[in-house]
Amino acid sequence: MPHEIVDWPAPERNKDPILDVLRRVLPASGVLLEVASGTGQHIAHFAAQLPGLVFQPSDVSDEHLEQLQARVARSKLENLLMPVRLDVSARPWPTVECAAIYCANMMHIAPWQATLDLFAGAAEVLPVGAPLVTYGPYANRGEHVSESNAAFDQSLRGRNAEWGVRDIAELEQLAEKCGFVLEEQVAMPANNFTLIWRRASLG
């Protein structure tokens, strides 16, 4: 376990704007599963501010899992659980059922298949009516929302042809096949969006 806990600048900047959205859309109780928790800055902050919910961090990276273990231990929050290893493509997911799922900044730095697996896996563990909340940069109906996002998309695809900023319209088509509808898209600072998907059917 690392002695120092890493704090990335971006999560520190955006955790409060995201929390404002979560306060509106999350249920009052139950387990929130975070997929791809990274350093755990988001989920630790949310757990401290939303004591009625139980928060389950997860990641597939050994380095991130060590970071998460250290952060959970330091937080001493009763509603913040130790992390579990979760590969979105592996079934079944380690969480049998949860009340909500949150996933930030994964879709654009993973192959498209990971996004497919995120929606398919979420459909297996979320009850009808539950939210899946995703955050990050998105294209909007075929257009990037800023020149910086367009440049970021080019940079991502240059590093890995399977990466890239995802288009909301394409995500809606995929989500519908898995029984989700896009309930709300919230413009966020730094040209990002928080997308609220709602489990509408059994898929």
DSSP codes, 117-158: HHHHHHHHHSPTT-EEEEEE-EEBTTB-SSHHHHHHHHHHHH
Is 145 or 107 the better-scoring residue by pLDDT? 107
pLDDT at 201: 66
pLDDT at 112: 97
161-192 pLDDT, tens digit per residue, is: 999 999 999 999 999 999 999 999 999 999 99
| Domain extent listing, the chain | 9-199
pLDDT at 1: 45
pLDDT at 6: 86
Share of the chain above pLDDT 70, in %: 97
Q: Report the number of secondary-structure helices (H) and strands (E) in the chain.
A: 6, 10
The architecture in CATH of the region 9-199 reads: 3-Layer(aba) Sandwich (3.40)
Q: Please provide the average confidence, as pLDDT, over all residues in the chain.
A: 94
Place of tokens 């990641």: 59
Q: How far apart are CA 74 and CA 61, in angstroms?
A: 20
DSSP state for residue 109 in the 8-state scheme: G
